[in-house]
Amino acid sequence: MTSPSSILVVGAGYVGLATAIFLADHGYPVTVLEKNPYTIETLRHGRLHFREPLLQKKLKQVLKKKKLQLCVPSKDQYRDLRFIFIAIDSADPATSKMRLTSFEKMAQWISETETNNPLTVVLKCTNVIGFADRFWQMLTENKSAKHIRLVVNPEFLREGYAYQDTAHPWRIIIGVNKKGDATPLLKLYRSVYAHSIPIITTDWKSAELVKLASNVYLSHRLAFIHEVADFARIEGLDLNSVKQGIGLDPRIGRDYFQTGLGFGGSCLPKDCHLINSHEIETGFKFKTASTALEINERILDMLIERLRRKLGLLKGKKIAILGAAFKPEVDDTRGSQAVKLALKLKRRGAKVAIFEPYLTKAEKLVEGNFLLEHSLDAALQSASAVIIGTAHRQFRSIKPNHAAKLVKKRFISDYFGVLNKEKWTKQGFEFI
């Protein structure tokens, strides 16, 4: 039996597990609450339910050291509790609204929980601006909340680097409504983080804004370079030189400038919506956010227009999409532009065949209910066009002469530049 946990983490997604495993690895006994019992079973066996290599390794270690417990939510009492980290999937991407029912339940449970010590509730999940105020009202509705402190402490982890970014963040943002409320969390963090990591203590809303605006900035940067790429494609320009020429200005830089089908994932597009979905009443709109989303949409619409010009009506035509993950070498398809493209093509009557090499065991994609192809060849067979959906490394080694034999028509789209254009062109493929 492990010692009683002083730390509870709600939610066993990327953020919750990275936080829990990181703190457990530093010797704190941590309990993770997760409502999906299947996920808990998988985790107890030392297996992550998503692809995150270093976190996977660390999970096994902390389980072995008995520092991590995994449970479904229950009426258990946690007398020794000092911290509750909330890391649930906080907003519904379809509506850009917070999942209020989940938060109400949690607030009730927290306010009823009796602990020997004051309790710090940490919002790790992404909030719309003004949500901490609202959650505070929920927490204090029924009784005085003298024993509770609420901290907005947004996560900034990149998928594929969940553990690394949790262990070595670029900055730590602590939002509180009373200065002293930050003290316990600061003490905990000082015990696990290097002193060189900047910590910014501010108010709730400012902390909420930092999180959303950072992701809006990144979306905005990607939208910019995608817009440039769209124009370069129309005009047949030298995109590599253009990207290099722009990025050599050190105020602009060359990192985080990869072009493809647009920006995706469970954070960037969602946060562009959330920043304009705030709880406050001024009606202020972040135009940078809505423009980034518009550009992201246009990329797909322009690609479909190109397809239509080559293939005529799309109805009944098979289109192969290679890669459905939102970025290379992950298996996460949430907010993926490749899936959005598939949906748009389906709506136009095309038969979409998706092959995602990191999801060969899954039958279906949750998003859009697409059946997944189980091999590259099955996807390519009789396709009227092939579209690179994700820049997975392994697509570089697809043999164009092999593909040429399988497809019906030799149209290919590779906005990511993973294929050797010359070789594919030699095999009769036309890049669209």
- In a 13 Å sphere around the CA of 414, the CA atoms on its Cβ side amount to 19
As given in the structure block, the two tokens for residue 382 are 């009789």
Positions 287 through 316 that interact with its own copies (CB under 8 A): 287-288, 291, 294-295, 298
Centre a 10 Å sphere on the Cβ of residue 316 and count the other Cβ atoms it contains: 9
Beta-strand relationship, 97-98 and 91-92: antiparallel
Compute the least distance from the CB of residue 133 to its own copies, in Å.
11
As given in the structure block, the two tokens for residue 273 are 């919506």
As given in the structure block, the two tokens for residue 9 are 């983490």
Compute the least distance from the CB of residue 122 to its own copies, in Å.
16
As given in the structure block, the two tokens for residue 32 are 């993770």
The answer to whether 234 contacts its own copies (rule: CB under 8 A) is yes
The answer to whether 173 contacts its own copies (rule: CB under 8 A) is yes
As given in the structure block, the two tokens for residue 231 are 């124009």
The answer to whether 220 contacts its own copies (rule: CB under 8 A) is yes
Q: Which of 106, 213, 272, 304 binds its own copies (CB under 8 A)?
A: 213
Q: Which of 64, 105, 248, 305 binds its own copies (CB under 8 A)?
A: 248
Q: Which of 58, 205, 318, 340 binds its own copies (CB under 8 A)?
A: 205
- In a 13 Å sphere around the CA of 46, the CA atoms on its Cβ side amount to 9
Distance CA 55, CA 290 (A): 34
Question: Measured between alpha carbons, how far is residue 216 from residues 15, 144, 149, 272, 293 in Å?
Answer: 19, 37, 28, 5, 10
Compute the least distance from the CB of residue 147 to its own copies, in Å.
27
Compute the least distance from the CB of residue 392 to its own copies, in Å.
22
Compute the least distance from the CB of residue 249 to its own copies, in Å.
5
- Region at 221 (left for phi over 0; alpha for psi -120 to 50; beta for the rest): alpha
Compute the least distance from the CB of residue 298 to its own copies, in Å.
8
Distance CA 153, CA 131 (A): 13
Q: Which stretch binds its own copies (CB under 8 A): 61-69, 113-121, 285-293, 390-398?
A: 285-293
Q: Which stretch binds its own copies (CB under 8 A): 142-150, 245-253, 357-365, 366-374?
A: 245-253
CB 151 within 8 A of CB 123: yes
206 or 420, CB closer to its own copies?
A: 206
Return residues touching its own copies (CB under 8 A).
129, 156, 170-171, 173, 198, 200-203, 205-207, 209-210, 213-214, 216-218, 220-221, 223-224, 227-228, 230-232, 234-235, 237-238, 241-242, 244-246, 248-253, 255-256, 280, 282, 284, 286-288, 291, 294-295, 298
